[in-house]
Amino acid sequence: MGSGIAQLCAQSGFPTRLYDVHINVLATARSTIEKNLQIAIEKGKISTDQMNKTMMSLEFVTDIKECKADLVIEAIIEKLEAKISLFQHLAGINTKETILASNTSSLSISSIAEALPRKERVIGLHFFNPAPLMRLVEVVKTQYNETALIESIVAFTKQLGKTPVVCKDSPGFIVNHVARPFYIESLNLVESGYADFETIDELLQSTGFKMGPFRLMDLIGNDINYAVSCSVYEAMDKPARLQPSRIQREKVENGELGKKSGKGYYNYS
């Protein structure tokens, strides 16, 4: 997600720095972005000049000290402690005006904010996968944000060409809350032996969904999707209907994370 968000920001004319703890991830991100832009040229969507400008707006940095900006968008693993620790570091090296935004799919933005010195400067900015293409962005506000800050983030997302929806900080926000039964009930059907995953995908796709739930979970990453299911389940006081799936947990334990690991429900190698 980080690479897609960085591409989007640079393509929209914002000087952008992409940072990751792993150097190899940055190399992959650079080649993915170049490939995406090349495809956009071939489709006539952008010019070679626009591609060059985008690449010149992008820096790939390996030292967190270089993550100083007016707006920092975090897109690391879906773990609250990891996000808090990263944001505490970022708060220490940035100014008091810097806005710290999280791309979390489900974690409490207020819990992140409360662990930081300037909780009013923390907000949720939830892009969808793939970030350069998907129109919707959830702007997740907390009780600490002032209207001016929310409005500036909404304006920013519009400059990215997105459709922002402001929502309250609640488990799974809007989309991941509504989508939980889509994944969990599909997994339940497989677990009960009522249908196999290919059949479910084919059926739902034929009714108009762009992707079936298993193809979509593979795209999102089974680790991320499972973490979101667990976080929404916990935050909602463990309703039986939203119990995370054993099948999905096993996929994560076996490293079958989906497209990014080469195998999930489907094979990608």
By beta-carbon proximity to ligand NAD, the closer residue of 11 and 104 is 104
Contact call for residue 224 and ligand NAD (CB under 6 A): yes
Tell me how far apart the alpha carbons of residues 123 and 149 are, in angstroms, rounded to a whole number: 9
Handedness of CA 154, 71, 118, 142 (dihedral sign): positive
By beta-carbon proximity to ligand NAD, the closer residue of 1 and 51 is 1
Contact call for residue 169 and ligand NAD (CB under 6 A): no
SS3 16: strand
Contact call for residue 104 and ligand NAD (CB under 6 A): yes
Contact call for residue 188 and ligand NAD (CB under 6 A): no
Reply yes or no on whether 138 is catalytic. yes
Contact call for residue 25 and ligand NAD (CB under 6 A): yes
For 183, the token pair is 């994944």
Reply yes or no on whether 22 is catalytic. no
Query: 246-253 vs 175-191: helix axis angle to the nearest 10?
Result: 90
Number of chain residues interacting with ligand NAD (CB under 6 A): 23
Handedness of CA 232, 234, 236, 242 (dihedral sign): positive
Contact call for residue 103 and ligand NAD (CB under 6 A): yes
For 114, the token pair is 């409360």
DSSP 90-143: HHHHS-TT-EEEE--SSS-HHHHHHTSS-GGGEEEEEE-SSTTT--EEEEEE-T
Shortest approach of ligand NAD to residue 142 CB, angstroms? 17
By beta-carbon proximity to ligand NAD, the closer residue of 10 and 101 is 101
Which positions from 108 through 147 interact with ligand NAD, judged by CB under 6 A? 126-129
Residue where the block lists tokens 């914002």: 14
CA 228 and chain centroid, separation: 11
Reply yes or no on whether 97 is catalytic. no
Which positions from 58 through 87 interact with ligand NAD, judged by CB under 6 A? 75-78, 82, 86
Contact residue for ligand NAD among 40, 204, 220, 242 (CB under 6 A): 220
Contact positions toward ligand NAD, by CB under 6 A? 1-2, 20-22, 25, 75-78, 82, 86, 103-105, 126-129, 220-221, 224, 260
Instruction: Give catalytic residue positions.
Output: 105, 126, 138, 176
